[in-house]
Homo-oligomer: A and B are copies of this chain.
C-alpha cells in the first residue's frame, strides 16, 4: 500500500516527520481523510462511470456469433453479454450498480434453472418465441414485454421457436457485488414437459393482470412483483392515453409531449423490484425533454423511433435497440427526431431502468430539473 494524495488541495507542510508519519499509516493500514477528501466527499456525485452508447446492431451481431460458439448450460448458465462501462475497470458493470446484458438463445435451446438474490428483469426490443419459466410458470416474451423477476425465484428459459431470439437482461449484480449480499443456487437441469407449454398469458398474468384488482387468496405485500409480464399492449395504450389526455387539455403527461409510465408491484404499489425502477417513456415527434439529473444511474434502450439523446457532454443520434448509460448526477435529455424509416407515430419510445429505489429507501435521493434542486 502506498499513500498518495488522491484529491485534496490543502496538505500539511512536507517534512521528514510527516513522511515518517505517513509511513506509519501505511504500516498500520491507515489512510488519512485529508489526502482523499476531495475524492471521497465531493460537492456532488462525480461518477466513476462515463456516458457511453452501445449500438444494437453490433451487440446483436456479436451475440449471434456467440450463439454458434458458446454453449448454454450448467456452469456458464446463460449466454449473456454485458455492457462494460469504459471507466469501470473492464468489469461487466454498465453503471456502478446496474448490469445490462444482451441474452441470446438458439432455436430449441434451454437455459438451465437457477435462482439468485439479484433482482432481475427481461425486456424485449424485438423477436419472440422464448418463454421464461419462473417458478414453473411459463411467461411469454414478445416485443415490448417487460418481465420482472424478484430475487430468489427459480427461473429458466426455453426457445420454442425455429429462430434465435435476443433480449436484454437488467439486474442489480454490481450493487449486490459491491455490498456483498448475493446468494445463488442451481435448480433442476431440465424443465419438465409441463413447463414447455407456450401459453399466450402466464398464470401470473391471469392472477394479477387485472387493473386495480387483486386475488383475495394472495398474501399481502410481496418482495418483487408477482405479475411476471407487463405486456406491451397495456404499456402502449397507457402511453397513448396520456398523450391524448394532454391533447384534450388534461393532466397526465410528465411534460409537454412526454408521456411516461412506471412498472409497479401490485402488492405494494411501489417499484417493481426492490432495487430497480423501470419505466417506459414516449416522446412525441419533435418534442424534447427538459434536462434533468438525479443521484443514481440509469440505463436506456431505444424501443422505437429515432432521436437525439444528450448525456452530460456527450450526444448521440439513436435508433431502435441502441443502449446507453446515464451516470449519477449527469444531466440527461432526449429529443424525438422521426426518420423516414420509423413507424407511423414518429414518437421516440425509451425504455429505462435505474437504481432509484435504493436511494429512496435510504433517503439519499435527490434530483434536479434544469438546475432546480428537488
Q: Which residues of B contact A264 (CB under 8 A)?
A: 212-214, 266
Q: Does A316 contact B (CB under 8 A)?
A: no
Q: Does A48 contact B (CB under 8 A)?
A: yes
Q: Which residues of B contact A242 (CB under 8 A)?
A: 206-207, 215, 217
Q: Mark A250-264, 1 if CB is under 8 A from B, else 0.
A: 111110000011111
Pick from B8, B12, B206, B274: contact of A71, CB below 8 A.
Answer: B12
Q: Does A363 contact B (CB under 8 A)?
A: yes
A34 and B213 within 8 A (CB): no
Q: Does A161 contact B (CB under 8 A)?
A: no
B81 and A32 within 8 A (CB): yes
Q: With CB as the reference atom, state the residue of chain B lying closest to A234.
A: B210
Pick from B69, B71, B96, B216: contact of A15, CB below 8 A.
Answer: B69
Q: Does A1 contact B (CB under 8 A)?
A: yes
Q: Does A36 contact B (CB under 8 A)?
A: yes
A211 and B209 CA atoms in complex are apart in Å by 5
Stretch of A124-132, A177-185, A332-340 on the interface side: A177-185
Q: With CB as the reference atom, state the residue of chain B lying closest to A75.
A: B10
Q: Which residues of B contact A178 (CB under 8 A)?
A: 96-97, 178-179
Q: Which residues of B contact A265 (CB under 8 A)?
A: 212, 269
A25 and B296 within 8 A (CB): no
A211 and B208 within 8 A (CB): yes
A366 and B183 within 8 A (CB): yes
A76 and B214 within 8 A (CB): no
Q: With CB as the reference atom, state the residue of chain B lying closest to A148.
A: B212
Residues of A238-285 whose CB lies within 8 A of B: 238, 241-242, 244-245, 250-254, 260-270, 272, 274-275, 279, 281
Q: Which residues of B contact A184 (CB under 8 A)?
A: 41-44
Stretch of A58-66, A303-311, A342-350 on the interface side: A58-66
A65 and B175 within 8 A (CB): no
Q: Does A196 contact B (CB under 8 A)?
A: no
B209 and A41 within 8 A (CB): no
Pick from B11, B33, B227, B357: contact of A101, CB below 8 A.
Answer: B33
With A76-B11, A212-B230 known to touch, is A206 a contact of B279 (CB < 8 Å)? no
Q: Does A116 contact B (CB under 8 A)?
A: yes
Pick from B40, B73, B181, B263: contact of A213, CB below 8 A.
Answer: B263
Most buried by B among A29, A41, A212, A245: A212
With A36-B92, A227-B211 known to touch, is A41 a contact of B173 (CB < 8 Å)? yes
Q: With CB as the reference atom, state the residue of chain B lying closest to A68.
A: B17
Residue numbers of A with Cβ under 8 A of B are 1-3, 8-12, 15, 17-18, 21, 24-25, 28-34, 36-37, 40-49, 52, 54, 58-59, 62, 65-66, 69-71, 73-86, 90-92, 96-97, 101, 116-118, 151, 173, 175-185, 203, 206-217, 221, 223, 225, 227, 230, 234-235, 237-238, 241-242, 244-245, 250-254, 260-270, 272, 274-275, 279, 281, 295-297, 327-329, 355, 357-359, 361-366
Closest 6 CB pairs of A and B: A10-B75, A34-B76, A31-B92, A180-B328, A216-B260, A206-B241
